[in-house]
Copies of this chain bind each other. A is one copy, B any other.
């Protein structure tokens, strides 16, 4: 395996084990057994390396969509929503990195393509379900964006731990059930 690939691999492991704060260029280099300047031979800077890592994150997220049950469109959509939340809760550091504009190069074509693919396939799933909103004539892509945002906020808020500080501590699944109830009637 080439050094470039090993750097991405090592960074992913470091990210999963020690969080976003631990994915430092020098730390990755040391963990990969190369000198601290070596990564710059394969990436223009930290942002480019982390973009490659985040791109893999989006790809992993997209891969989950391929394993949805072959049942009704409605059940496929709810499964996808659960899958999104599960991914975020299971890989908190990767999820955080994927949405940290300051750590990642937003103009990276591979990264934005992978991110768009996630949203696009989600929009397709939404469009296949006859929700009350759709029946009332709302723009389907707008419904998809709204539902995705709701999902995303649920994941973000839960990882943040904010609800735990409130006077009660709901489970993320319970909140997701309410969200799906609101959108799918």
Question: How many angstroms from the CA of A149 to the CA of B157 in the assembled complex?
Answer: 6
Q: Is the CB of A168 within 8 A of B141?
A: yes
The answer for the CA separation of A30 and B97 in the assembled complex, in Å, is 31
Q: How many copies does the complex hold?
A: 2
Mask: chain A, 69-100; 1 = CB below 8 Å from B; 0 = not: 00000000000000000000000000000010
- Residue tally, chain A, CB below 8 Å to B: 48
A164-185 Cβ-contact flags toward B at 8 Å (1 or 0): 0111101000111011011100
Q: How far is the CA of A149 from the CA of B155 in the complex (A)?
A: 8
* Interface-facing stretch out of A4-12, A40-48, A49-57, A112-120: A112-120
The prevalent SS among residues of A at the interface is helix
Q: Which residue from B119, B154, B167, B179 sits with its C-beta under 8 Å from A120?
A: B167
A window 2-56: CB within 8 A of B: 20-21
7 closest Cβ contacts across the A-B interface? A153-B153, A150-B150, A149-B153, A152-B153, A146-B178, A149-B154, A146-B179
